[in-house]
Structure 1
Amino acid sequence: MMGSKVQRALSVAVLALGVGAGVPASAAMELTAFKQAVAVEASGNAAISAFYRERDYAPFWTTAEAAPMRSALLHAIAGAQAHGLPVARYDADALTALFHDVRTQRDVARAEVGAMRMFLAYARDVSSGVLSPADITDEIKRKVDRPDPAQLIQAFAQAESPEAFLRALPPDSPEYARLLRTKMRLERLIAEGGWGDKVPGYGQRPGDSGPQVVALRNRLIAMGYLSRSATRQYDAALQSAVQQFQLDHGLEPDGVAGRSTIDEVNVSPETRLRQVLVAMERERWLGDARGGMHVLVNITDFHARLIEEGEVVFETRSVVGQNRSTHRTPEFSDVMEHMIINPSWNVPRSIAVSEYLPQMMANPGAAGHLQLIDGSGRVVSRASIDFSRYNARNFPFDLKQPPSRGNALGQVKFMFPNPYNIYLHDTPSQHLFVREVRAFSHGCIRLDDPFDFAYALLALQTEDPKGFFHDRLATGRETKVDLETPLPVHIIYRTAMSDPRGRMQYRRDIYGRDAAIFDALRAAGVALAPVRG
């Protein structure tokens, strides 16, 4: 309906002003006025100005021949809400009004440039995101590959199929497609009333019965975890459904509906929809360039995975940064170049002066596992040092822990050199991996099975990865092993994502970043818009 309305208005504009149908000599002055008006309207955008200047200000959108492009743009804009975009940025009603009210060449120029601005805004947002990550928090270090506006215009102008060009703009990842389908499903669900009543109380377990068990059963039936049943018992079927729910939400799959499980069961579909909208924006930031084989670390999921052509070929639990301003693990992508077997730990200065210096001021023998290194790289005896003379600004030493089983980095670390000093590594603190929420580090990512991870990486370049690794480990010496094929590493933060089978997974917003992103999306004009039946 909207499309035909705009099309009719465009036709009126084209016919009334003769644009694109051949301009008679008597109308030369009017055409000049049109060109001047386009130049003025486009003056605030370098790419649009250059495009029209190079074509001597000939019309692009407002000719009769431009109907397929107009139709394609209108169709794409009509689908903006499906992508979770701020629909008001691409206001078809405003464009309709521009073409409906044309009286002068300036009016047509305003419509011409307005359509181009709308095209660029939509193309940028749907391909690489509505927001700039750095505007949300400096903990998101992701560099977004924004499309060049001039190249976008040229590519669209040369496209054989304008509709195909616009359809190809969103991320081409299977994950984005699955999120898009989940968004639509949640919107329909919300319109139909959601998942029903929340479950009261906590602690339901196998063998229990009563109204709380019925409420839990009904909620899980509505969520698709359980077939419809009239029983009031916490039976084996309900236990299995609870365990699957727990797996899908990063909970311990014990089959008992304790506090954390009931809290997640009671999360509303509106909240899940917000998570999906944020995940779609994050997917647009990440783009398509994952790499055929890559390392994926999801901070909220507390796992690191090796992915090959979309399939998980290795997975291990991880520990990430504590929820403190100085410790939270940042989000970024880089390339893993090498591993270090039997690593030394060069204590970051921030940790050295904030944690260890106060200890050594109180007791010079404190943190005795760490060596004191002077500016020349020599080990210095603590006996000759008066630590009370120093503070965070003037402390002149580095701290270093030599290779050992008890080294803070364990016995292997995996390096993708970056300005944030973040890497993956082993740890002697194995007890932390049994926790459900594993946010304990200073920011780096600790792995539960680092040796197996090393074997998986080395298998790409040696026939005996385990033997190769342990030969070097046995020396006790720090050894650098280059990766013959460097691997992309993506450290992401997703509270809504799908597993390889397409099943949705949800996690808690441990750092509050998703809440901040959704607030920014809402401020930009993104709204929850459930389908009304």
Structure 2
Amino acid sequence: MGNFWSGRNNRASIALALCIALSGGLTGSPSWAQSETAPSETQVVPPPQFLDPETPIARAIQSEMSPDLDQGLVLHYGERAFAPVWFTEDGLTENAHLTIAAMAAANEHALNPNNYDPLGFIKRSETATSEQDWARFDIDLSVQFLRYATHLSSGRVQPNAVNKALNLFPDRPDPKNLFKAVARSEDFSAFLDSLAPQSDNYARLKRRLGQFREKAAEGGFTPIPDGEVLKPGMDDPRIAVLRQRLIEEDIPGAADHNGEAYDGALVEAVKTFQEYHGLATDGVIGKNTLAKLNIPLQEKLIQMELNMERRRWMRDDLGEFYIFSNLADQNLKVVRNGKTIHTARVVVGKPYHATPVFSDQLEYVEINPFWNVPYSIATKEYLPKLKQNASALSGKQIRVFQDGTEIAPTQVAWNSYSGGNFPFRLRQDPGDGNALGRIKFMFPNRFNIYIHDTPSKSLFSRAERAFSHGCIRVSNPFKLADVLLADVNANPGHWETIRDSEKRTVIKPAAPIEVHLTYLTAWMNKDGSTHFRKDIYGRDKVLLEALRTAMTQNL
């Protein structure tokens, strides 16, 4: 029969043994999952010598084809005449060993190894004696590999099924094509690695998760005792503890500070910590900053694990030229050929007007736009005011239209209408008081969401900026226009000149520009900084519950 532990199979088995040793057992699981104690027995015993290595096992596999199996998987077995995928007459293949090892190490990707039962396959390989035993083994390993590949490449749960505001539909692996790729693979280890998102953002967060887990195993972060608000220049007995706490989270500059005065490098380190956590960067350690300093490391681990799931939903390649707005971060960036060429603060939807997550393409930019008041705003906000005072629109440059004809608001019996009976359209003229400001960036979509200017500039100075009805208000919008429309006209100030002309103007970009509205509450930047944001829409909580449910149901 041959020795499983020699030659190529030996290298695979060593990989499995190392995986077990490094992970502390095959059943290691994400922070949000319960784990069980893994048995220490790991030896894999080869399958029995079949008198006919093909026909009997093929018949056994065919007889084990359940109606509940994925049809793509059934077709794959049928095309190979029901020959086993994971073993030959010489024993388990190297691919089988590497697959079991990969599933055992799923915790590195914030997936739960228990969902793929790697230890179970080791035990079954020790006890299987018949063709039927090995047929079930082969089919079950195929099923679990398909599940593992699906979870790793496109997520544990379907985003839109978890939350209708997440309009993401990641491609799930096609079983037939997946197993064909397995058969064709010359470097199966590389193939397994390729199943995970191939983006630097995912790789960085995965690496940082591992580092934070090590810190958690060492005892976590040192808590900061309560006390009075700590301002720069003050002396405080907590200074040494604060310094140690910042060093533990690798905040730059913290280790450069000495003494018991809150000054110099330590103040700058606190400002950096505040930046990393989406707080006002004033260096003052008040209630909010102290709370962030004392968040249990376990909660940060969970937050990172949730955002690895979100990264699995996203495409690896977001395009050559794109707008990326993280709603949780309330910031926007423009990326071209892999480089960030512009950043801006944004205002996003209030929690009860939460901005949805989706991708689209910028179609045009409009300077001096009209604002066609959305039906919901017209009926819920303006109609009650008009019922009280028919002149409520006076001074707002909002006109009333019915069937395309403008009518005077004072000539309408507003008390006769309701949200279900409102035949009017409200439109605000261009101008400084226009709700859209002087420019809007349009990517027409069914949510009626777009990026625009605003007359309410003061909101951009706030640390938390969730104040809109769902659309995204952007700071320095004409600077954004300069960046996005540089291929149309690169002269600085050109678009402001059009603005000042008061003329409504529509400009189309010269090259396709993708728009990605995302929701990420934890990420790691290229410079090594790790960022966490408040879950303004409660989507972390919803996703956490969905992942726990999926785990218990073994989906």
Work out whether the TM-score is over 0.5.
yes
Per the alignment, residue 80 of structure 1 pairs with 106
Distance 1:202 1:293, change over 3 A: farther
Report the Cα distance in structure 2 between the residues aligned to 1:311 and 1:388, rounded to whole angstroms: 55
Structure 1 pair 41–440 and aligned structure 2 pair: CA distance change class (3 A): same
Structure 2 letter corresponding to 1:445: I
- Give 3-state SS (helix, strand or coil) of 2:391's partner: coil
Counterparts of 1:255 and 1:332 in 2: how far apart (Å)? 36
Tell me the distance in 1 between the aligned counterparts of 2:323 and 2:464.
21
2:73 alignment partner, one of 26, 36, 48: 48
Instruction: Indicate the percent of aligned positions where both proteins have the same amino acid.
Output: 36
Q: 1:406-421 counterparts in 2 under 5 A?
A: 406-421=433-448
Structure 2 residue runs of 5 or longer lacking an equivalent are 1-13, 18-40
Contact 2:399 2:428 in 1 (8 A): yes
Comparing 402-411 with 247-256, greater Cα deviation is found at: 247-256
1:209 is aligned to 235
Match of residue 367 from structure 2? 341
SS at match of 1:206: coil
Superposition deviation, residue 47 in structure 1: 0.8
In structure 1, distance between residues paired with 2:298 and 2:451:
35
How far apart in 1 are the matches of 2:223 and 2:166?
37
Q: Secondary structure of the equivalent of 2:511?
A: strand
2:453: which partner in 1? 426
1:138 matches 2:164:
yes
Deviates more, 1:232-241 or 1:471-480: 471-480
Secondary structure of the 1:367 match is: coil
Counterpart residue identity of residue 44, structure 1: L
Kept after mapping to 1: 8 A contact 2:485/2:510: no
- 1:8 matched to 2:44? The reply is yes
Q: Please give the per-residue CA displacement for 1:270-313, whole angstroms capped at 9, x wherever unaligned.
A: 11111110111111001302112211101111111101233321
Inter-CA distance 156–465: structure 2 relative to 1 (3 Å threshold): farther
Q: Once the 2 structures are TM-superposed, how far is the Cα of residue 320 of structure 1 from its aligned partner?
A: 0.5
Post-superposition Cα deviations, 1:118-157, rounded to whole Å, max 9, x if no partner, equal 1111111111110111232222122222222222121222
Secondary structure at the aligned position of 1:294 is classed as strand
Q: Deviations over 1:475-520 (max 9, x none)?
A: 4232221112121111111111123323111111111111221232
In the alignment, which residue of structure 2 is the partner of 1:298? 326
Taking the aligned partners of 1:433 and 1:470, their CA distance within structure 2 comes to 20
Query: Is structure 2 residue 432 aligned with structure 1 residue 405?
Result: yes
Larger RCO: Structure 1 or Structure 2 (Cα < 8 Å, ≥ 6 residues apart)?
Answer: 1
Q: CA deviation at 1:229?
A: 6.0
- Alpha-carbon deviations, 1:451-491, whole Å to 9, x = none? 00000011133332532x23432342322211121211111
Q: Secondary structure at the match of 2:255?
A: coil
**Aligned positions of 1:38-437 closer than 5 A:** 38=64, 40-41=65-66, 43-63=68-88, 64=90, 67-225=93-251, 226-227=254-255, 231-324=259-352, 327-368=353-394, 369=396, 370-375=398-403, 377-437=404-464
Q: Could you tell me how far 1:202 is from its partner in structure 2?
A: 4.5
Distance 2:52 2:344 in 1: 63
* TM-aligned CA deviation for residue 210 of structure 1: 2.6
- Matched-pair contact (CA < 8 Å) for 2:58–2:82: no
| Cα distance in structure 1, aligned partners of 2:51 and 2:192 | 28
CA-CA distance at 1:351 after TM superposition = 0.9
Aligned counterparts, 1:19-30, within 5 A: 20=53, 23=54, 30=56
| Alignment match, 1:529 | none
- CA apart distance, 1:412: 0.6
**Is this contact kept in 1: 2:16–2:97, CA < 8 A?**
yes
Cα-Cα RMSD: 2.1
Alignment of 1:440-479 (within 5 A): 440-464=467-491, 466-467=493-494, 469-479=495-505
Cα deviation, residue 197, structure 1? 2.6
TM-score (norm 2): 0.88
Residue type at the aligned position of 2:272 = Q
Q: Distance in 1 between matches of 2:465 and 2:301?
A: 25
Shift of 1:54: 1.6
Q: Does the CA contact (< 8 Å) of 1:204 and 1:213 recur in 2?
A: no
Q: TM-score, normalised by structure 1?
A: 0.91
State the distance in 2 between where 1:367 and 1:62 align: 76
Q: Is the 8 A contact 2:243 2:266 kept in 1?
A: yes
CA drift at 1:65: 7.7
Q: Which moved more, 1:123-132 or 1:98-107?
A: 98-107
Letter in 1 for 2:75: A
Secondary structure at the aligned position of 2:508 is classed as strand
Q: Which amino acid is 2:193 matched to?
A: R
5+ long unaligned stretches in structure 1: 527-533
Aligned residues: 511
Deviations 1:165-204 (A, max 9, x none): 1111111111111101111111100110111233313410
Distance of 2:177 and 2:341 partners within structure 1: 38
